[in-house]
Structure 1
Protein backbone atom coordinates (compact mmCIF):
# COMPACT_ATOMS: atom_id res chain seq x y z
CA UNK A 1 0.00 0.00 0.00
CA UNK A 2 2.84 2.36 0.84
CA UNK A 3 4.43 1.59 -2.52
CA UNK A 4 1.22 2.58 -4.33
CA UNK A 5 1.08 5.89 -2.47
CA UNK A 6 4.73 6.51 -3.38
CA UNK A 7 4.06 5.87 -7.08
CA UNK A 8 0.95 8.07 -7.06
CA UNK A 9 2.88 10.88 -5.38
CA UNK A 10 5.66 10.53 -7.96
CA UNK A 11 3.13 10.66 -10.80
CA UNK A 12 1.50 13.76 -9.30
CA UNK A 13 4.87 15.49 -8.97
CA UNK A 14 5.85 14.60 -12.54
CA UNK A 15 2.51 15.80 -13.92
CA UNK A 16 2.76 19.04 -11.92
CA UNK A 17 6.25 19.70 -13.28
CA UNK A 18 5.08 18.97 -16.83
CA UNK A 19 2.06 21.24 -16.39
CA UNK A 20 4.10 24.19 -15.14
CA UNK A 21 6.77 23.60 -17.78
CA UNK A 22 4.15 23.62 -20.53
CA UNK A 23 2.59 26.80 -19.13
CA UNK A 24 5.97 28.57 -19.13
CA UNK A 25 6.68 27.23 -22.62
CA UNK A 26 3.35 28.55 -23.94
CA UNK A 27 3.92 31.90 -22.25
CA UNK A 28 7.42 32.09 -23.75
CA UNK A 29 6.14 31.29 -27.23
CA UNK A 30 3.40 33.92 -26.90
CA UNK A 31 5.86 36.55 -25.66
CA UNK A 32 8.31 35.71 -28.44
CA UNK A 33 5.58 35.94 -31.06
CA UNK A 34 4.45 39.29 -29.66
CA UNK A 35 7.99 40.64 -29.63
CA UNK A 36 8.64 39.42 -33.15
CA UNK A 37 5.41 40.90 -34.46
CA UNK A 38 6.20 44.28 -32.88
CA UNK A 39 9.73 44.39 -34.28
CA UNK A 40 8.78 43.05 -37.71
CA UNK A 41 5.80 45.37 -38.21
CA UNK A 42 7.78 48.17 -39.98
CA UNK A 43 9.31 45.65 -42.38
CA UNK A 44 5.91 44.19 -43.20
CA UNK A 45 4.44 47.66 -43.75
CA UNK A 46 7.36 48.53 -46.05
CA UNK A 47 6.81 45.36 -48.11
CA UNK A 48 3.08 46.12 -48.35
CA UNK A 49 3.82 49.71 -49.42
CA UNK A 50 6.22 48.58 -52.17
CA UNK A 51 3.67 46.05 -53.44
CA UNK A 52 0.89 48.63 -53.40
CA UNK A 53 2.95 51.19 -55.31
CA UNK A 54 4.03 48.60 -57.89
CA UNK A 55 0.42 47.55 -58.41
CA UNK A 56 -0.68 51.18 -58.75
CA UNK A 57 1.97 51.96 -61.37
CA UNK A 58 1.16 48.82 -63.39
CA UNK A 59 -2.57 49.57 -63.21
CA UNK A 60 -2.09 53.10 -64.51
CA UNK A 61 0.20 51.90 -67.32
CA UNK A 62 -2.31 49.24 -68.37
CA UNK A 63 -5.17 51.75 -68.26
CA UNK A 64 -3.26 54.15 -70.51
CA UNK A 65 -2.53 51.32 -72.98
CA UNK A 66 -6.19 50.31 -72.98
CA UNK A 67 -7.35 53.87 -73.66
CA UNK A 68 -4.87 54.21 -76.54
CA UNK A 69 -6.04 50.93 -78.08
CA UNK A 70 -9.71 51.82 -77.70
CA UNK A 71 -9.21 55.22 -79.32
CA UNK A 72 -7.10 53.74 -82.12
CA UNK A 73 -4.02 55.82 -81.36
CA UNK A 74 -1.57 52.94 -81.64
CA UNK A 75 -0.18 51.19 -78.65
CA UNK A 76 0.61 47.52 -78.32
CA UNK A 77 -2.04 44.98 -79.18
Structure 2
Protein backbone atom coordinates (compact mmCIF):
# COMPACT_ATOMS: atom_id res chain seq x y z
CA UNK A 1 0.00 0.00 0.00
CA UNK A 2 1.34 3.44 -0.92
CA UNK A 3 2.54 5.72 1.86
CA UNK A 4 2.05 9.50 1.81
CA UNK A 5 3.15 12.29 4.17
CA UNK A 6 0.70 14.02 6.53
CA UNK A 7 2.19 16.56 8.94
CA UNK A 8 5.64 15.15 8.24
CA UNK A 9 4.69 11.57 9.11
CA UNK A 10 4.28 8.61 6.78
CA UNK A 11 0.66 7.45 6.58
CA UNK A 12 -0.66 4.47 4.66
CA UNK A 13 -3.10 5.37 1.90
CA UNK A 14 -5.99 3.67 3.74
CA UNK A 15 -5.19 5.72 6.84
CA UNK A 16 -5.23 8.90 4.79
CA UNK A 17 -8.68 8.06 3.41
CA UNK A 18 -10.03 7.54 6.94
CA UNK A 19 -8.43 10.79 8.09
CA UNK A 20 -9.85 12.79 5.17
CA UNK A 21 -13.32 11.31 5.68
CA UNK A 22 -13.24 12.74 9.21
CA UNK A 23 -12.43 16.14 7.65
CA UNK A 24 -15.41 16.29 5.24
CA UNK A 25 -16.65 19.88 4.97
CA UNK A 26 -13.32 21.33 6.14
CA UNK A 27 -11.46 23.84 3.95
CA UNK A 28 -8.11 22.41 2.86
CA UNK A 29 -5.26 23.19 0.50
CA UNK A 30 -3.80 20.28 -1.47
CA UNK A 31 -0.29 20.66 -2.90
CA UNK A 32 0.15 18.36 -5.89
CA UNK A 33 3.04 17.53 -8.22
CA UNK A 34 2.55 16.23 -11.76
CA UNK A 35 5.80 14.85 -13.12
CA UNK A 36 6.50 15.09 -16.83
CA UNK A 37 3.85 17.80 -17.29
CA UNK A 38 5.37 20.72 -19.18
CA UNK A 39 2.39 23.08 -18.69
CA UNK A 40 2.26 22.84 -14.91
CA UNK A 41 4.51 20.63 -12.85
CA UNK A 42 3.10 21.66 -9.48
CA UNK A 43 -0.43 22.84 -8.73
CA UNK A 44 -2.34 23.95 -5.65
CA UNK A 45 -6.03 23.11 -5.14
CA UNK A 46 -8.11 24.73 -2.42
CA UNK A 47 -11.60 23.79 -1.37
CA UNK A 48 -13.90 21.97 1.01
CA UNK A 49 -13.40 18.23 1.24
CA UNK A 50 -16.50 16.55 -0.20
CA UNK A 51 -15.44 12.90 -0.04
CA UNK A 52 -12.44 10.61 0.02
CA UNK A 53 -12.15 7.06 -1.24
CA UNK A 54 -9.39 4.63 -2.06
CA UNK A 55 -6.84 6.76 -3.91
CA UNK A 56 -9.08 9.79 -4.60
CA UNK A 57 -10.37 12.90 -2.85
CA UNK A 58 -13.07 15.29 -4.08
CA UNK A 59 -12.76 19.02 -3.34
CA UNK A 60 -15.34 21.74 -3.93
CA UNK A 61 -14.06 25.31 -4.35
CA UNK A 62 -16.73 27.63 -2.88
CA UNK A 63 -15.26 30.68 -4.65
CA UNK A 64 -15.68 29.26 -8.16
CA UNK A 65 -18.14 26.40 -7.72
CA UNK A 66 -15.61 24.04 -9.37
CA UNK A 67 -15.17 20.50 -8.10
CA UNK A 68 -11.89 18.63 -8.37
CA UNK A 69 -11.14 14.91 -8.20
CA UNK A 70 -7.53 14.49 -7.07
CA UNK A 71 -5.41 11.34 -6.93
CA UNK A 72 -3.32 10.58 -3.86
CA UNK A 73 -0.43 9.53 -6.08
CA UNK A 74 0.23 13.20 -6.97
CA UNK A 75 -0.20 14.50 -3.42
CA UNK A 76 2.75 16.23 -1.73
CA UNK A 77 1.02 17.53 1.38
CA UNK A 78 -2.19 19.04 2.77
CA UNK A 79 -2.89 22.03 5.01
CA UNK A 80 -6.21 22.61 6.80
CA UNK A 81 -7.81 25.88 7.86
Please confirm whether the aligned pair reaches a TM-score higher than 0.5, indicating the same fold: no
Question: Looking at CA atoms only, which structure, 1 or 2, has the larger radius of gyration?
Answer: 1
**TM-score scaled to structure 2, two decimals?**
0.18
